[in-house]
Amino acid sequence: MLVFLVRRVVNAIGVMLAVAFLAFMIFRFVGDPVELMLNEQATQAQRDELRARLGLNRPFLLQFATFAGNAARGDFGISYRNQQEVSALIAERFPATFELVLVATFLSLVIGIPLGVFSAIRRKSFLAQAVQFVSVLGVSLPSFALGILFILIFSVNLQWLPAFGRGEVVSLGGWTTGLLTASGRAALVLPGITLSLFQITLVMRLVRAEMLETMRTEFIRFARARGLPDRSIHFRHALRNCLMPVITMTGLQIGNLIAFALVTETVFQWPGMGLLFVQAVTFVDIPVMAAYLMLVSFIFVTLNTLVDLTYALVDPRLRQTALAGGSNVR
Amino acid sequence: MGRIWLLAASAALALSTAQMAAPAEAKTLKWGAAREIASLDPYSFGDTFTLSVLNHVYEGLVRYTGDLKIEPALAESWENPSPTIWRFKLRKGVTFHNGNPFTADDVIASLTRVTHETSPLKGNLPAYKSAKKIDDFTVDIEVNGPYPLLLNDLTNIFIFDKEWLEANNATLPTDSGKGIKGYATDNANGTGPFMVESRRPDAKTVFVVNQKWWDKPKHNLTKIEFSPVASAATRVAALLSGEIDFTNVAPLQDLPRLATSPDIKVLQTNELRTVIFAFNLKDKLFESDVTDKNPLKDKRVREALYRAIDIDAVQKRAMRGLSRNTGAIVAPAIPGYAPELEPRLPFDLDGAKKLLTEAGYPNGFSFQMNCQSDGLVNEEEFCQAVAAMWARAGLRPNLSLGPRSLQTPKRVKGDFDVISFGWANEPMIDAYSILIQVLHSKSGSGGVFNWGSWGRPDIDALIDKAGVELDASKRIPMMTQALKIAKDETLFIPMHNQPMAWAMRANVETMVQASDNKPRLWLTRMK
């Protein structure tokens, strides 16, 4: 287990260095921050001087080495635009994104699993066919279009839910949450659903496919023969065996959701990391862009590792091999 | 089925939030802007919009009125004891939001901070040499030569409280190069009509009225809630649903819809920014099938390009009928503008073809055209329209479109043949701004934006003379003369003044919209 972990960590560092390197290559093509930082009246000398002060005129590899060295110590510098520490900026935005992603994940499981089971066991019924059809829409509608549609219906026409923002938030020792206030909860609904719709259909289709597979296996037939009630067969026996891929996918998708939340966040002006990143791109705010990309790659790598570990916990066969080294993981 | 689930879920949550839809408190103005301000520190980022928002909290020695005239603010009066010395008498009885009195020391500390070498706003005060306290309410500012535009510059130099800066270790501006953030980035203490109550970046910044403001308030607001809403569609939706009362960026394509809504008022006019096409006038074209010389250096070719543009079609189609066509490169409100600059060369396709033939290009030539996708209003659309019009005259423009952050470095390097270009003459609000920064040849102090080497000695001489002339009645004709030369030589192709539109709900009674596109909410009244 220890060897496994160490290998994973080394892997992760490699991946993150690669991401940082690629990000830095890209930054050379996103434009020149100095032109946006100074106003129209600044002279050429002032522009050159600022460029030198920011270290933008140094060779690429040297810039990268400085960045990697500072990043390793957790120092990402200050934002060119906001003049705030990048780590503080991201820490301030992270709870918003995380809360949104959690809500979306929760919705996708709570809605997606029952729908998947339903459309698997009543596969011929009209309703199941309809669900299948709607789910195609869910996969293919881009989230910005969906978000605008929701805003139009629920904010402008029905006036039930806010069109933008996060509502009132409560601060719990540096972590802000909107779950504790009415306006915060209301503000979560539309972006949460928008972000989760793709996920819901994904979970649903996955559960359906797995269920159909499992329902054909021997042990379900035996269970039937034993005269167990349908409910018990479907949920206790069949569904349980379908959950492995769902767990994997949900875990991996959390990373995706965090990364892709930026579209939803832009539509709903959700003050999360995605919005911060979009703003940083517009203003060529290199420190913020770099830190964001590092964080997202870190999340991806961590989630991958965690999913692998969960596998070992859920599937006894994998546990046997994983524990062969004699680790005390439990 | 999926939809039914969603409906049920959202309905359940909506019940708990009934108060959200309740009408807003009578005198709170909820302002939905297109983007967030960079910081609460007015010296941290050279951004006109940030400054215009912070002007509600901080003030300068002088300020613009609603019709862009300079009037006293923290200074009561001024005089020139010598051509390079400006003596300001400060207003007495003004206090900062924290209660500290406003004195000459605060002015000196602020000027020192804004002209510090790491300050991005240093360029906003180009002529500054030093400042001296004469007594508690008199300050002398020395400039490095006779300089007529100090007052214009000072409208954007906001005054900090010296004690507050010192107590919070913020006497120097923040420095992105060093990676140190400053106290003033998240805290504010000005003399202005509103005080910062709370701030959550990208979510909401709340300003409350300053009851002790020195000026007699024309507004009746008690609170301003400033929220950036980046997505245009969301912003319009929020305005329609009443979540915001006012936006200073109403998307042009939604104006007809907004105007028909009974709850919404639209204020639409043309801003100071004039859009032009500028040429690469170096010895060679950047990307062309003519490699031995630069056809654009021939005035007949430039005139052909000008005459090939059907400006009315551009105005109707690309600009949705909202722009103001012009033959001048500065807007009418800018000192230096004169009516004789206004007429355009007529649209004349045959004439354009004839001029090209005369110049030796009967079959036209190819060139690169650099436009931005997120720069000017409907820039993509009008660039595509103009490219098509030039193609009709037999030219072969190669349109390069990209985001501003990508296109700007190419423009700065001079890697283009034709660019779309917009200049508002802000924050100076004087033609000297475009003259010194854009028209002047590249030199130590001018021509930063002279990307295509279009400078001329006769124009330079006029600009340099106007730059040291204190008498406005002599200075302004010099600037007009320089603009006239540029016009006669067809150095640029003027296009239009950009449209701008604000939208507000019916409960906003008065709103002063000046062509500099800055909301001045201390002049706003609500029902």
Q: What is the SS3 assignment for B82?
A: strand
* Separation of alpha carbons A25 and B18, rounded Å: 50
**Strand pairing of B396-402 and B223-228?**
unpaired
The 10s digit of each residue's pLDDT in B65-96 is: 888 889 999 999 999 999 899 999 999 999 99
Exposure string for B265-277, b = 16+ CB within 10 A, e = fewer: bbbeebbbbbbbb
Rounded average pLDDT over B480-494 = 96
CB contact under 8 A, B234 and A163: yes
pLDDT at A314: 64
The reply to whether residue A93 touches residue B202, judged by beta carbons under 8 angstroms, is yes
Q: Tens digits of per-residue pLDDT, A227-261? A: 888 888 888 778 887 887 888 888 888 888 888 78
What residues of A are in contact with residue B20 (Cβ under 8 Å)?
161-162, 167, 182-183, 186
Angstrom distance (rounded) from CA B523 to CA B219 = 5
- List CB contacts (< 8 A) between B3 and chain A: 134
Average pLDDT, chain B: 89
- For residues B442 and B282, the answer to whether their CB atoms sit within 8 Å is no
Pairwise CB contact (< 8 Å): B237 & A182: no
Task: Give yes or no for A198 touching B (CB within 8 A).
Answer: no
* Mean pLDDT of all residues in A57-75: 82
Asked if the model's pLDDT at residue A213 lies above 90, the reply is no
pLDDT at A75 over 90: no
**Cα distance from A269 to chain B (closest Cα, Å)?**
6
**Which tens digits make up the pLDDT trace of A141-200?**
888 888 889 998 998 888 899 888 888 888 887 788 888 888 888 899 999 999 988 888
Is the model's pLDDT at B19 over the cut of 70?
Answer: no
Hey, are the CB atoms on A30 and B177 less than 8 Å from each other? no
Q: Give the separation between CA B271 and CA B68, rounded to whole angstroms.
A: 12
Q: A20 or B243: whose pLDDT is higher?
A: B243
CA distances in angstroms from B322 to B316, B379, B423, listed in the order given: 8, 13, 18
Question: What are the DSSP calls for A145-167, one per residue?
Answer: HHHHHHIIIIIIIS--S-SSS--
Tell me the average pLDDT across B264-284.
94
Q: Is the pLDDT of residue B109 over 60?
A: yes
Lowest mean pLDDT among A230-244, B161-175, B303-317, B463-477: A230-244
Query: What mean pLDDT value characterizes chain A?
Result: 82
d(CA A239, CA A13): 37
**Are the beta carbons of A164 and B445 separated by less than 8 Å?**
no
- Residue-level pLDDT at B176: 63
Cβ neighbors of A240 (< 8 A, separation 6 or more) are: none
Residue A271 touches partner B, C-beta closer than 8 Å: yes
Could you tell me the CA-to-CA distances from B273 to A247, B55, B102, B269 in Å, in that order? 55, 21, 35, 12
A21-25, A98-102, B436-440: the lowest-pLDDT one: A21-25
Q: Does the distance separating the beta carbons of B433 and A81 come in below 8 Å?
A: no
Does A134 sit within 8 Å of B1, measured CB to CB?
A: yes
User: pLDDT category, A117, cuts 50, 70, 90?
Assistant: confident
The answer on pLDDT for B5 being more than 80 is: no
Using one digit for the tens of pLDDT, what is the confidence trace for B342-364?
Answer: 999 999 999 999 999 999 999 99
- Residue B406: list chain A partners with CB under 8 A: 29-31
What does the pLDDT look like over B493-513, one tens digit per residue? Answer: 999 999 999 999 999 999 999
Q: Given A127, A130, A284, which is nearest B405 (Cβ)? A: A284
pLDDT at A107: 92
CB B341 within 8 A of CB B434: no
Q: Which of residues 38-57 of A touch B (CB under 8 A)?
A: 38-47, 49-50, 53-55
A330 versus A150: the higher-pLDDT residue is: A150
B-chain residues near A83 (CB < 8 A): 38-39, 41, 44-45, 174, 176, 181-182, 185
Q: Per-residue confidence at B26, pLDDT binned at 50, 70, 90?
A: low
Cβ of residue A82 closer than 8 Å to a chain B Cβ: yes
CA of B436 to nearest chain A CA: how many angstroms apart? Answer: 9
**Are the C-beta atoms of B502 and B519 separated by less than 8 Å?**
yes
Closest alpha carbon within chain A to B406 = A31
| Partner-chain residue, chosen from A30, A46, A276, that has the shortest CB–CB distance to B122 | A46
A138 to chain B: which residues are within 8 Å by CB? 2
Predicted confidence band at A325 (pLDDT cuts at 50, 70, 90)? very low
B222 pLDDT above the threshold of 50: yes
Residue A193 to residue B204, Cβ atoms within 8 A: no
Residues of A in contact with B228 (CB under 8 A): 269
pLDDT of the residue at A328? 40
Distance from the A87 Cα atom to the nearest Cα atom in chain B, whole angstroms: 12
Which of A284 and B88 is assigned the larger pLDDT? B88
Cis peptide before B427 (omega within 30 of 0): yes
**Residue A159, number of CB atoms within 10 A of its CB:** 16
Interchain CB distance below 8 Å, B126 and A43: yes
Nearest-Cα residue of chain A relative to residue B426: A40
Residue-level pLDDT at B4: 43
**pLDDT average, residue stretch A97-103:** 92
Q: Higher-confidence residue: B381 or A177?
A: B381
Q: Which of A1-5, A30-34, A194-198, B381-385 has the highest mean pLDDT?
A: B381-385
Of A32, A151, A276, the CB nearest to B237: A151
Q: A45 and B444: CB-CB below 8 Å?
A: yes
Confidence of residue B446 (pLDDT cuts 50, 70, 90): confident
pLDDT at residue B188 tops 90: yes
> Residue A318 class from Cβ within 10 Å (0-12 exposed, 13-18 middle, 19+ buried)?
middle
Helix (H, G, I), strand (E, B) or coil at A53: helix
Q: Do B121 and A152 touch (CB under 8 A)?
A: no
φ/ψ of residue B71, rounded to 5: -135, 160
Q: How far is B352 from chain A (nearest CA, A)?
A: 34
Characterize B73-95 residue by residue with b for buried, 16 or more Cβ atoms within 10 angstroms of its Cβ, and e for exposed.
Answer: bbbeebeeeeebebbbbbbeebe
Q: Strands B70-72 and B62-64: what pairing?
A: antiparallel
User: Are B180 and B118 a contacting pair, CB within 8 Å?
Assistant: no
**pLDDT value, residue B379:** 93
